Amino acid sequence: MNLEEFCERFQTLQEQRPKTPILLDAGKQLMQELLRDPAWFVEFLRNYVAGPAFLADQPASVFDNEIRLYRSSDKSFILLAYLWDGGDLCAVHDHSAWGLIGPLLHPLREVKYRRLDDGQVDGYARLEQTSDLILQPGEVGIILPLDKGIYQTGAVDEPLTISLGVYGRSIRQGYIHFFDPPGKKVRRATTRLLFKKVLALRALASLEEVLGKRFLPSSLLESLPGDLVRDFRLPSTETSST
Ligand SMILES: [Fe+2]
């Protein structure tokens, strides 16, 4: 199966609006077919990476090793590739959507966690490791959104590992969480570009407070994803109502 065929078949599957377990089961089979032969990915890299459109087309992302291969026009799913140097592991993180992941070249390590706390204490998270697997090329793992899909993936010991991930529509916009299991910590992770904006707005809010103002004008927050705006404005809104 090649990229176009996968995307068409996945789109058709989505349009049938199956329940999530059925979608993931059928999607897993499509992913397995896509991972069976990397010839299509060779063509993709040959035709795309060397050209001027490559970097210009790539969206900002949380992970530097991520390449977007496809996004459906109705935004119901995206297909991403991850390129791993030998031994690289990403941060332990959650997801804003369901996903299906699997290696295309060389095995992929997948370490899953369960969250034990209720998430009510800011910055605190207690995780328990539930599995530590090696997926072989062609094998597909399933991830679920938010606290049900906390994991860490990465290369084993090959010089370069390639994995693919297909992800559904996000139920949370603008950020994911990075976890530090030994330190029992959690923090928000956005794209680097968005992180700069959030930091700059936080700096502005802090300085405005020093100068006696109590909240940022909402016009300054308009370009942020809604989920970030809500949290960002909360302390200021509380302060302004007292
Ligand atoms: Fe992930």
Judge contact between 103 and 163, C-beta under 8 A: yes
Looking at every residue in the chain, the average pLDDT score rounds to 89
Q: How confident is the model at residue 209 (pLDDT cuts 50, 70, 90)?
A: confident
Ligand 1 centroid to residue 151 C-alpha, Å: 7
Mean pLDDT in residue range 134-150: 96
Ligand 1 centroid to residue 93 C-alpha, Å: 7
Ligand 1 centroid to residue 177 C-alpha, Å: 10
Ligand 1 centroid to residue 131 C-alpha, Å: 15
Lowest mean pLDDT among 8-12, 26-30, 84-88, 237-241: 237-241
What is residue 241's predicted lDDT score, i.e. its pLDDT?
37
Instruction: Tell me the C-alpha distance between 71 and 139, whole Å.
Output: 22
What is residue 156's predicted lDDT score, i.e. its pLDDT?
93
Ligand 1 centroid to residue 165 C-alpha, Å: 8
Ligand 1 centroid to residue 157 C-alpha, Å: 19
Instruction: Tell me the C-alpha distance between 166 and 7, whole Å.
Output: 10
**Quick check: 215 pLDDT over 90?**
no
Length of the chain, in residues? 242
Question: In this structure, how many other beta carbons lie within 10 angstroms of the beta carbon of residue 153?
Answer: 25
Residue that wins the pLDDT comparison between 157 and 117: 117
What is residue 231's predicted lDDT score, i.e. its pLDDT?
62
What is residue 232's predicted lDDT score, i.e. its pLDDT?
61
Lowest mean pLDDT among 54-68, 82-96, 139-153, 214-228: 214-228
Ligand 1 centroid to residue 29 C-alpha, Å: 19
Q: What is the pLDDT of residues 30-74, one digit of tens each?
A: 999 999 999 999 999 988 887 888 888 888 899 999 999 999 999
Ligand 1 centroid to residue 238 C-alpha, Å: 34
Backbone angles phi, psi at 146, to 5 degrees: 55, -135
> Which residues, other chains included, contact 182 with Cβ-Cβ below 8 Å and sequence gap of 6+?
none
Ligand 1 centroid to residue 205 C-alpha, Å: 32
Q: What is the pLDDT of residues 4-19, one digit of tens each?
A: 999 999 999 999 999 9
In the chain, what are the domain boundaries?
A: 3-189, 193-240
> Alpha helix (H) ranges present in the chain?
3-15, 20-36, 39-48, 53-57, 192-210, 226-240
What is residue 202's predicted lDDT score, i.e. its pLDDT?
82
CATH architecture for the domain at 3-189: Sandwich (2.60)
Sheet holding 185-189, edge to edge: 127-135, 108-115, 146-155, 92-95, 176-180, 185-189
Ligand 1 centroid to residue 149 C-alpha, Å: 8
Question: In this structure, how many other beta carbons lie within 10 angstroms of the beta carbon of residue 20?
Answer: 13
Ligand 1 centroid to residue 189 C-alpha, Å: 12
Mean pLDDT in residue range 123-144: 96
Burial environment of residue 33 by CB neighbours within 10 A (0 to 12, 13 to 18, 19 or more): middle
Q: What is the 3-state secondary structure (H, E, C) of 55-69?
A: HHHCCCCCCCCEEEE
Instruction: Tell me the C-alpha distance between 222 and 220, whole Å.
Output: 6
Of these ranges, 41-45, 94-98, 206-210, 217-221, the one predicted with the greatest mean pLDDT is 94-98
**Quick check: 3 pLDDT over 60?**
yes
